[in-house]
Structure 1
Amino acid sequence: MNIPTTDMLHTAMNGLNRQFASLNEDALRMTPNNPEGFEKPLVDLNQHTIAAQVQLKAVKSWNENIGRLLDILA
């Protein structure tokens, strides 16, 4: 049985992986010799943190809904 909501989970998990990769890149850019300075990587870090939190909420929502569906089917 293929539940369509698995697409949502895959999308959220892919988004979360992208945000973690971006967070890593932002952290690596925070060096004293970065021509951008610290401000740009810090702003990017904050934005990617918020985006990761959104993806985590989507995963949590999926988990809660799949649990409800399993309760109904049981």
Structure 2
Amino acid sequence: MKEMSTSARLQWAGRVYRMMGRAGLLREGVIFIWLAGRDYKKELSELLKKYKQEDPMEHRRMGERLRWLNLALSVNQK
């Protein structure tokens, strides 16, 4: 994503948004939880702005994100 131009990222986000629509994910009451970093989130989150979105790892660096995910996985496996 970092190497993609703004235009390419917008096209990618549009494709993902359309795929989400075809999959039936774009409906009232849905909550999107972001587990991806800022580069993946930026353009797509704008397309999803009418839906509730949460980012439990916002402002965390990669290592912190990995620790958070590993902890969440270990808690849910017990």
* TM-score of the superposed pair, with normalisation by structure 1: 0.32
Counting helix residues as a fraction of each chain, which structure ranks higher?
1
Q: Name the structure, 1 or 2, with higher relative contact order (CA <8 Å, separation 6+).
A: 1
